[in-house]
Amino acid sequence: MKEKMIKFIKRYRIFFLLLIINTAVLVIFPNLGKKAFQLTGSNLLEMLSVLPPIFILLGLLDVWIKRETMIKYMGDNSGIIGVLLAFLLGSAAAGPLYAAFPVAGVLLKKGSKLSNVFIMLGAWSTKKIPLILFEASALGLKFMLLRLVMDLVGIAVIAYITEKALSTNDKKEIYQKALKGN
């Protein structure tokens, strides 16, 4: 029982540290502390409204798409098809960036190439389809196309450099953590 408690505290130590800091701010500066707790509550409610649908979709992805299919289309030998699927998945996805990390975990668990997962994360954070449409209407088609091309090239280059910079052990550790769900 004591070991479980220690493991629990270690796992959530940053949460507990922030809770202590927020509480200290509440005691020392009541107005600021109250605002901090309100903001924390608001963010928590936003997360709780976004994450359940994401987890439902992840469960469906996990059940419906076989590992062999994922490896074929987004694995090590997927080539340009894997890159395009990663860009499409990231661009079409809804929700904030923190919702992308569980998706990345499932992709890794299913055998996706690490650089394709990095591309999906990059596209999720910068290339949302509604944002592209807004840019075209507000800033012009030329600007939107220029930024789109630069982002696509930049995301792909960063993904490949990052994958190549990781050692074989680092890559194994990432895949193992995805399999464990950590």
> pLDDT (tens digit, 9 = 90+) per residue, 127-147?
888 888 888 999 999 999 999
Residue 76, pLDDT > 80, answer: yes
C-alpha–C-alpha distance, residues 20 and 12, integer Å:
12
Contacts of 109 (CB under 8 A, 6+ apart): 62, 178, 179
Average pLDDT over residues 34-41: 90
Average pLDDT over residues 92-99: 82
Residues 136 and 176 in one domain: yes
Go through 46-85 and write b for each residue having 16 or more CB atoms within 10 A of its CB, e for each that does not: eeeeebeebeebbeeeeeeeeeeebbebbbeebeeebbeb
Q: How far is CA 102 from CA 74, 93, 154, in A?
A: 17, 13, 23
Residues 110 and 24 in one domain: no
Residue 1, pLDDT > 80, answer: no
Please, which pLDDT band fits residue 98 given cuts at 50, 70 and 90?
A: confident
Average pLDDT over residues 15-34: 92
pLDDT at residue 182, rounded to an integer: 59
pTM above 0.85, yes or no: no
Contacts of 172 (CB under 8 A, 6+ apart): none
Residues 111 and 157 in one domain: yes
* 60 part of a folded domain: no
* 58 part of a folded domain: no
Residues 159 and 72 in one domain: yes
The pLDDT tens digits for 101-132 are 988 998 999 999 999 999 999 999 988 888 88
* 83 part of a folded domain: yes
Range of the domain at 77: 65-180
pLDDT at residue 153, rounded to an integer: 93
C-alpha–C-alpha distance, residues 53 and 46, integer Å:
12
